[in-house]
Structure 1
């Protein structure tokens, strides 16, 4: 089912296209350009309902990291289909609503819709993924995109605070969930949810089973705002109302519920699962509903209402998991009614809560406030909005004939049924469940009445409003009207969803609970007779009306228990403590001294590699195959050691630079003696450019301090340098003395000419066999050069002087300076031409003779450096009027296009070809595509070297 993969990717594609579409159609609201995405996806998911019912579940796989068992495996069953319909259906209405809610002239609409599309794609991928690692990737992407959406009005401190709070808590839970997924993999050897379900009975007694369950539940509870992790959701209400209507009522907060439902077949037989999910859900239900009574901001009231309703749904999924203990019996379907209620209320809540959030957005948009103390009497001026609010609120309160009444009755039934279970201590404690549910339902009834009648009823207070209230425009009313209509339709005709949505979702939550070919009985009606549930509802309404009438005069109902919530204070205090602690720790080692940072790196290197060598018995030095040392090698070695040691004890930076260069040139002599011309040429070129670069940096450095030439300072440097040298020598000797497998060098020697058409094995390896390495190397070089350029330019800008740390008007080494030495300039003219010509020769002949793009580029850079030193930068600019930063980018682009070109010949990336062709006047020549790749390397290295040198060495 590749089309399922395309459906997941589609929102991401439009997220990338949003800026381009906005530029092409600047007069069109970006929302209209994005709206077709959820509409098309919703229509497609609707078309899958009969397919899944008749043909079964749909799935498809695209390999991703097969070696690790990570594949992009999508799986569409009843549960994922229900969530996908909510994501795309509510998403379509929210997008339509946002078009009229957000002002095109005042808001950064492109940013908003990019974030919204990212979130939609992430949620869609999350519910469709069968692979745990892919699911986790989408899970965290929902946290990141929701962070961006909550912080959309980022200039507001509360928006930034709410966004950070939501991200910290949900990402913390996500990391815990990730650890739980890894434990499942350790137990089963697979990341596939379907395969883990098949091994559920086998791993039930594993020592890691309970830890995995607890970690996964931690992720679910944080995402779905279960107590005590609920504190992020009220602060997330600082997001624009379309975001609240989408993320915090229908999609993101339901991700945790989806995870619990999806994992139920694995953990349902565990008592701890039932108690934690149902118990914490009920606690969240009653706490959230009670806190909602005390809110004066309409969105805050809906936030705590959402927390409460999420707890209700969570508790139902927890109780429904008891059905797994009675597989194949009549009791299985009896207890699965809790799952049926959970699925139905999941659908109902998304519909009526989405409508209510949009109503609150309309009230805020048209009156300028959400403070319930300033509102009242709006039904006369906003009759349509009032009607929608009444339908949504009555449904949330559980009043017939709306859909919320039906799922609330089913909720009461599930709570009453659980008393009959004789497992897990339910016979003793099960009676508390319906009592808690009834009390929470009373609170729900009260805040539902407050929401509609305190806002739209009572005495008008239009003088307290920022705007003159009036009915919302038609475009803003369409979406909530559609949702309110669905509230009525599913209330009057609930069985429309019975076997199209509810039963398939139940079958996905309880696979194998019934015999093959059987279906769950799903029959929902408004009238069940005079039942206990009906009397509970009557009691809820009676007590609820009394409390509603007493609300203003009763402190326990309308005033907070504490000045500040304890949990929020704990979060804020914890964040402040971590900031102070991290700041204190950071100040210890972040001294601003590059020397200190190098000491950390080198000491860690010595300890880590040294301990590994000795603890793993990897130190194996075999000198039997070593060649005898010649007189010349011994002389160069002695000179090299003396030069290296001398660097530590000199008192002049200039002397240190000269000695460092001497070490490099002596190493190049070694390569000459060992008959490695490519390495020798590279080393010589690198040393030439490096010494010049050191000298340019040296020009900017302050005067050498006395403590930097003290014996203690140099002794520390000597010990660390000696340690690094010793460790790396031991590593080299151990590596050369251990041959666990045959060297690959024989393969390169035998095939470099046959397969790549080149006689220079070194160059063939760089541009053909290991072209990926070279590609990444030039990209890293390019990034480094751009970083150096950016930092220096920013430094110059901050100092307010073109010379950076130098005084204004003071020229830098290569700017405006040119040598007055006639002999030097005369020799330089000839030398530059020779070096550049030799550079081009080495580049062209490098495939078959010593040389190549890298070496040739370094030589060309040396020639350009010599040109600047002898004739000044103005001469370089006149001869080469190009930007070296652009040259770097152009070189990387050539190398990349060379690799991409292989796709046109159905070959892997960076596959090269060669052939022999007769060229007029030149005769028969070998032409290889690797030469184009080497050209990219050549241009990149020149651009990198010159960018760094000329940025440091001149003031422009």
Structure 2
């Protein structure tokens, strides 16, 4: 594992410990302990600048699922480095800002930094992953972590609404994007982004090319809040301001832009890509800037301005993709200027918008409101904040000498250049882009001036404020001061970025644009003479000043255009309709009857399997290779059938349990005569524990009433039971008769010891070859046990929680000791037998790698000993003798199993890879040791914890 991998993992490591750091560090803000990690990551990426600038690429790979082509491969090029610096650099400033913004005594600071670091790590994973599946995993993790951050103040209904809205829309886009990734894999046979880019030329004629492009764009548009998917971003402003400054101006909303830029080498040059990206961007730019004029809340205004600026960058990436038509020629450099403008404005926007969001947070923090109708005259009491706001708003408006002016001029140049294109039939439609860009820039100028002057100048209205306004503390001012300073520096010295960040990023987006020995002209000049762009800027200022002065008089700029159907109402109505439809459909089949649910499941099983078997030509039944039935087998079959048939006719629950147990023990005999000791041991212990669970459950049920059951009821049960039995029998017979492939058992017999160091094939499969399956199974079992515990502890409305609540509550109708035997003989024998069983369970655990046994069987045997203890002395005795919370035991087991799997990464091996060897031990001499034993220990602890959690919960004292 490389250092680059560790840098990506570092935020997750700090995220795990941040709640504990908050508890331990009572005197200092947790952010001070988190900040060094973020600064370290920024310095690390800053140190990679010379390397990437020289054309080198940092790459490293850790195997994950090699058989599916899914590896954790990281790739650092110019584009990835640009985003990594934004994520860690602005992230560091946001953490510093949060230290002074978030109240450490009133807020859940530990959880706040957990979510923030989780998001930071996820974003780094998105921009540095070379594998599509890994990228998708991190992509969805950004949606989940942003959901948690937006809903941080979950007591507010608007926070919950905004969080859910953002997650639904972005996850919808993410799922669509995943479909596009799968199509790219089907076209190229690889999940590697670099290899897909290398095969781009051979993909354009494939039938899946356009659908893949559309799905990838859907993911990008939803994440970057492009029209009409932008509606989640304004509602996300309910998040704390540090979250808005980080996620919704500099990082998360830029993920869609990153996706478009990263996949431009694959799709650029296609007319559909050009029109969709550039047109969606220009529409979003205009709509967002127009809507920003109508806002009265500072963060809402910044939210729509963010939508607008994201549309600007998206349109530039789309316009720049036209350069692919001239790939390899000198003309391509003329059109690729649009991409350069997009990259430059992406940096500029992150800088000035991050500063403005922090300014909004300062105003809210120091005045108690963000409503510009109540603000005004703050310049005199908040001079530093006002200065930052001047730089940020002037840069956003595109005024010199700030960085936003330069990128806006480059934007005008790009839309003017598009008019001269002779591809994509641009001669007529290309004129639209400069006109729309100019109008949107006027709106941008107006809302920037409104934000600045309505807040800081004009009449003082301090009596309307919740707090007496004053300047923010130095720690809260320092981060926006840094960002504002960068806006000035990048405006006066833009070439600090030209060949350090912009040129390497352009090389990553357009890798085939250049001829041999050629390079991009990434130089940025402050003055180009009296060009068309300058006159467009003068026009923007002139018309902008007029609109700013007349803003309060023009209804079209202050009132909604549509009071009826809007995109937000469409979203709310659609969600409500889905809720009603889902409830109506669910109510039809969720009747509350377990019998009905089982009928649905079994009928679906019977029909689906029967139809599949009947329509498949490969299903056949050949009994010629079957061995003849022996007398022992015939006797056991008869002994098995009799209790199974007798169960429906049993007149008491006790008899039904006995008959069911008898059938289970007969199956155990089958495993014995078929020489499967592991299965026999497992079946025997499972049957013993199951019978105990049945007894505990039935003990709490009311007395069985003898009622006359309708014939129709019995007949339907009989038909379904017969159908399931017939179908499963046919499956077993066909599986034995129509094998299309050679049995894999030969491989396990030959390689179990060579590859895994174990002679017990069954246990080796469980802990090594199929260890991932086993780990997921114990996780599922653990969740099930917690679910059972929660259901039993559930208190319905009106019920009172009894005193001394725990596993076993008092005040019930049952005796305080619960289920308890008064058999002195049983109690005396149990004292000896329990230790024998526990000793045998440990033997099964340690011998399982070579002999019958293993962690699962040993755990069940241990649980059986505890069950015997409970039956002899009562449930309460277990609590007194073994004062352990078995839920924590199962959690510890899952953690041990997981850490064992993760440990293989240290040795550059795939997840859950095991090793074995011989080592000299005291007294024991040369002894074979296998890391699989550690994984088996996790299984052992989990199964013991799960089994006892269920038994103790069901058999509690009430």
Matching residue of 1:581:
581
Secondary structure of the 2:309 match is helix
2:850 equivalent to 1:810: no
Matching residue of 1:951:
953
2:385 equivalent to 1:382: no
Matching residue of 1:202:
202
CA contact (8 A) 2:329 2:515 kept: no
Secondary structure of the 1:183 match is helix
Matching residue of 1:459:
459
Secondary structure of the 1:709 match is coil
Matching residue of 2:538:
538
Change (3 A) 1:785 1:126: closer
2:338 equivalent to 1:335: no
Within 2, Cα distance between the matches of 1:754 and 1:54? 47
User: What are the residue-to-residue correspondences of 1:675-686 with 2, within 5 Å?
Assistant: 682-686=682-686
**How far 1:646 moved relative to its partner?**
2.7
Within 2, Cα distance between the matches of 1:706 and 1:545? 88
Matching residue of 2:54:
54
CA contact (8 A) 1:162 1:236 kept: yes
Please tell me the root mean square deviation across aligned C-alpha atoms, in Å.
3.7
User: What are the residue-to-residue correspondences of 1:819-834 with 2, within 5 Å?
Assistant: 819=822, 825-826=824-825, 829-830=828-829, 833=832
**How far 1:766 moved relative to its partner?**
6.8
Within 2, Cα distance between the matches of 1:737 and 1:142? 49
Secondary structure of the 2:551 match is helix
Change (3 A) 1:696 1:375: same
**How far 1:828 moved relative to its partner?**
6.1
CA contact (8 A) 2:756 2:915 kept: no
**How far 1:624 moved relative to its partner?**
2.4
**How far 1:450 moved relative to its partner?**
0.8
CA contact (8 A) 1:854 1:941 kept: yes
Matching residue of 2:324:
324
Within 2, Cα distance between the matches of 1:201 and 1:754? 45
2:147 equivalent to 1:147: yes
**How far 1:664 moved relative to its partner?**
2.4
User: What are the residue-to-residue correspondences of 1:507-522 with 2, within 5 Å?
Assistant: 507-522=507-522
Query: Is the deviation greater in 13-22 or in 475-484?
Result: 13-22
Secondary structure of the 2:75 match is strand
Change (3 A) 1:262 1:627: closer
Within 2, Cα distance between the matches of 1:936 and 1:547? 69
Query: Is the deviation greater in 291-300 or in 900-909?
Result: 900-909
Secondary structure of the 2:48 match is helix
Secondary structure of the 2:419 match is helix
Change (3 A) 1:133 1:854: closer
**How far 1:443 moved relative to its partner?**
0.9
**How far 1:895 moved relative to its partner?**
8.0
Within 2, Cα distance between the matches of 1:297 and 1:895? 51
Within 2, Cα distance between the matches of 1:799 and 1:853? 41
User: What are the residue-to-residue correspondences of 1:325-404 with 2, within 5 Å?
Assistant: 325-404=325-404
CA contact (8 A) 2:875 2:955 kept: no
Deviations 1:864-912 (A, max 9, x none): 5455445544566666666655666677788889999999999985555
Matching residue of 1:306:
306
Matching residue of 1:837:
836
2:791 equivalent to 1:791: yes
Change (3 A) 1:564 1:358: farther
2:425 equivalent to 1:422: no
Change (3 A) 1:829 1:536: same
User: What are the residue-to-residue correspondences of 1:94-113 with 2, within 5 Å?
Assistant: 94-113=94-113
**How far 1:611 moved relative to its partner?**
3.0
**How far 1:111 moved relative to its partner?**
1.3
CA contact (8 A) 1:814 1:869 kept: no
Count of residues in correspondence between the two structures: 949
CA contact (8 A) 1:707 1:713 kept: no
Gaps of 5+ in 2: none
Secondary structure of the 1:330 match is coil
Within 2, Cα distance between the matches of 1:566 and 1:728? 54
Secondary structure of the 1:391 match is helix
Within 1, Cα distance between the matches of 2:731 and 2:927? 41
Matching residue of 2:19:
19
Secondary structure of the 2:74 match is strand
Deviations 1:50-107 (A, max 9, x none): 2222243332222222222222222222222222222222222222212111122221
Within 1, Cα distance between the matches of 2:683 and 2:555? 82
Query: Is the deviation greater in 286-295 or in 336-345?
Result: 336-345
Within 2, Cα distance between the matches of 1:91 and 1:397? 25
Query: Is the deviation greater in 405-414 or in 615-624?
Result: 615-624
Within 2, Cα distance between the matches of 1:508 and 1:269? 16
User: What are the residue-to-residue correspondences of 1:65-144 with 2, within 5 Å?
Assistant: 65-144=65-144
Within 2, Cα distance between the matches of 1:206 and 1:498? 37
CA contact (8 A) 2:15 2:114 kept: yes
**How far 1:778 moved relative to its partner?**
5.9
Change (3 A) 1:798 1:772: farther
Within 1, Cα distance between the matches of 2:82 and 2:750? 60
User: What are the residue-to-residue correspondences of 1:929-940 with 2, within 5 Å?
Assistant: none
Matching residue of 1:439:
439
Return the TM-score normalized by structure 1: 0.90
Within 1, Cα distance between the matches of 2:904 and 2:196? 40
CA contact (8 A) 2:810 2:957 kept: no
Within 2, Cα distance between the matches of 1:833 and 1:716? 50
Secondary structure of the 1:61 match is strand
Query: Is the deviation greater in 827-836 or in 61-70?
Result: 827-836
Within 2, Cα distance between the matches of 1:762 and 1:295? 67
Return the index of the structure with the highest Cα Rg. Answer: 1
**How far 1:649 moved relative to its partner?**
3.9
User: What are the residue-to-residue correspondences of 1:775-786 with 2, within 5 Å?
Assistant: 783-786=783-786
Query: Is the deviation greater in 274-283 or in 616-625?
Result: 616-625
Change (3 A) 1:888 1:389: closer
Within 1, Cα distance between the matches of 2:685 and 2:246? 60
CA contact (8 A) 2:18 2:30 kept: yes
**How far 1:564 moved relative to its partner?**
6.3
Change (3 A) 1:95 1:939: closer
Within 1, Cα distance between the matches of 2:627 and 2:955? 45
Within 2, Cα distance between the matches of 1:122 and 1:449? 36
